Amino acid sequence: MNGMSLTDGQHEKGRAAGHERETIIELRNVDYTYQAGSPFAAAALHDVNLKIQRGTLIGIAGGTGCGKSTLLQLLNGLLLPTGGSVRVLDHTLLPGMKKLRLNALRRRVGLSFQFPEQHLFEDTVEKDLMFGPLNFGFTREEARTKAAEALRSMGLGDELLNRHPLSLSGGQMRKVAIATVLAAGPEVLMLDEPTATLDSAARRELIALLARLCREEGRTILMVTHRIEELLEAADEWVVMNEGRIVFQGDADELVDRTNELREWGLAVPEQLRCWEEWTARLPQLAALPLPRTPEAMARVIAEAVRGSAGAPDAVRVSAPESIHRSAPAPGSESPSEAVNEARSGEWEHDLCATN
C-alpha cells in the first residue's frame, strides 16, 4: 500500500476547521535499536516510512512488542533514531544528534505514556497538571486554569485537585495522566493505549474528546490501541505494525478488508466486522454493501435485508449468528448461583425471526 490514501469523506473529516492538509510528521527509513552497539542490542523498528498530515486522527495497532511505543517515543525526541530521519513539525531528528532544544518540540507534541504512574510525580494532582504548562512558560494563574480545564475535560471533578496522585484509582490515575498532557495544549497529541484501564463509558467519552480536539481544533492525534473496534468509527487513518515494521497504512475500509492478516498480526478482528461476517453468511445480499460502523446502522441494514427476503412464509427464519450473551434469567431467579445454573443447564436457542 502506498502512503495514506484517503477517501473523500475522510478528507472532509480530517480537514477540520479549515486546516490545510500539511504533512507534519515524516519518517524516512527509520531504524531503532535499543542498546545499539552493545551485546544486548535489540532491534525494535526496521525501515519505517510514514507520513502523517495535520488534523488527522491516526489509530496505531499491533501486537505486544511490535514497536508501537517505540514509534511514539521517536516523535517527541524521547528516543532518537539509530537509522534514517524523523521530521516532526519543523524539527528533524537524526541518529546521534545531541538532544538539545527539544523543549520547543515537546511543548507542541504531547505524549501520554502506557503507564499513567510515569506522568505522576508531584504530591497533588493539581501540581502534576500544572507542571507542563509552567514548564512551557505559562504563568501560575494560567497553568492553574489549564489544569482545572484539562481535568474537567477528562470527566473528573475539581475535588481531585488536592488529592495525592497515587491515592487515585487506576482509572482515575489514567485520566489524570492524559489530562497532564492535555493541559499543555499540544498540537500533536500521542496516546499510548489510553483506554486500557478505563471502563467502556469512559473509553467512549475519551475517544469523543479526541475526535473533538481533532475536528474542531485541528489537533493531530495518534492513538495506540489493541482494540481496533473502539476507534474504527473515529480514526481517519490506520497504521498497523508487526515485528518492528509498518505492515499496513490506510483507511478503515482498507483495514477491514484485511481480516485474515489482522489475525496473523495478533490483532482482534473488530467486533463490527465479526458480526457483519456472521450476518453476511446468512444473508448473502449483505455482502455487496459496505460495512456499517455503528450497531444502529448495521441493524437498519440487516432489518431491511431480512424484510426483503420475507416474501414466503418462514423464508426469513434464519439462524442467529453467534452471540456473546445469553437470555436474561427468568424473574425470580436473580440469585447468581440460580441464574448461572439455569443458564448452564438450559438449552441454547438460535432461531431468529422477523416479526410484524
List 229, 243, 261, 277, residue binding other proteins (CB under 8 A):
229
Asked if 236 and 251 touch (Cβ cutoff 8 Å), the reply is yes
| Segment contacting other proteins by CB under 8 A, of 71-79, 123-131, 183-191, 292-300 | 292-300
Report the distance separating Cα 52 and Cα 186, nearest Å.
Answer: 16
Backbone angles phi and psi of 113, in degrees to 5: -75, 165
Q: Does 38 bind other proteins (CB under 8 A)?
A: no
> Minimum distance from CB of 235 to other proteins (Å)?
16
Task: Please identify, using beta-carbon distances, which residue of 3 and 170 lies nearer to other proteins.
Answer: 170
Task: Please identify, using beta-carbon distances, which residue of 124 and 197 lies nearer to other proteins.
Answer: 197
Task: Please identify, using beta-carbon distances, which residue of 11 and 226 lies nearer to other proteins.
Answer: 226
313 DSSP 8-state letter: T
List 42, 104, 289, 315, residue binding other proteins (CB under 8 A):
42
Q: What is the SS3 string spanning 81-117?
A: CCEEEEEECCEEECCCCCCCCCHHHHHHEEEECCCHH
Distances 212 to 14, 16, 140, 216 between C-alpha atoms, Å: 11, 10, 27, 5
Residues 247-276 that bind other proteins (CB under 8 A): 266-268, 271-272, 274-275
> Minimum distance from CB of 60 to other proteins (Å)?
12
**Three-class secondary structure of residue 250 per DSSP:** strand
Q: Does 295 bind other proteins (CB under 8 A)?
A: yes
Q: Does 349 bind other proteins (CB under 8 A)?
A: yes
Task: Please identify, using beta-carbon distances, which residue of 169 and 260 lies nearer to other proteins.
Answer: 169
Q: Does 20 bind other proteins (CB under 8 A)?
A: no
- Total interface residues for other proteins by CB under 8 A: 75
Task: Please identify, using beta-carbon distances, which residue of 187 and 277 lies nearer to other proteins.
Answer: 277
Q: Does 308 bind other proteins (CB under 8 A)?
A: no
> Minimum distance from CB of 355 to other proteins (Å)?
5
With a CB cutoff of 8 Å and minimum separation 6, the contacts of 103 are 135, 136
| Segment contacting other proteins by CB under 8 A, of 75-83, 96-104, 139-147, 170-178 | 170-178
Radius of gyration, CA atoms only, the chain: 24
Residues 55-114 that bind other proteins (CB under 8 A): 62-65, 69, 114
**Three-class secondary structure of residue 301 per DSSP:** helix
Distances 36 to 11, 41, 70 between C-alpha atoms, Å: 40, 5, 14
List 2, 38, 169, 260, residue binding other proteins (CB under 8 A):
169
Backbone angles phi and psi of 149, in degrees to 5: -65, -45
> Which single residue is written with the C-alpha cell 519505517?
48
Residues 311-330 that bind other proteins (CB under 8 A): 320-329
Report the distance separating Cα 86 and Cα 92, nearest Å.
Answer: 6
Report the distance separating Cα 261 and Cα 266, nearest Å.
Answer: 9
Asked if 26 and 87 touch (Cβ cutoff 8 Å), the reply is yes
Task: Please identify, using beta-carbon distances, which residue of 128 and 193 lies nearer to other proteins.
Answer: 193
Comparing C-alpha atoms, which of 271, 197, 263 is closest to residue 230?
271
Task: Please identify, using beta-carbon distances, which residue of 140 and 317 lies nearer to other proteins.
Answer: 317
> Minimum distance from CB of 273 to other proteins (Å)?
10
| Segment contacting other proteins by CB under 8 A, of 104-112, 134-142, 253-261, 297-305 | 297-305
Task: Please identify, using beta-carbon distances, which residue of 26 and 304 lies nearer to other proteins.
Answer: 304
Report the distance separating Cα 58 and Cα 66, nearest Å.
Answer: 17
Task: Please identify, using beta-carbon distances, which residue of 26 and 31 lies nearer to other proteins.
Answer: 31
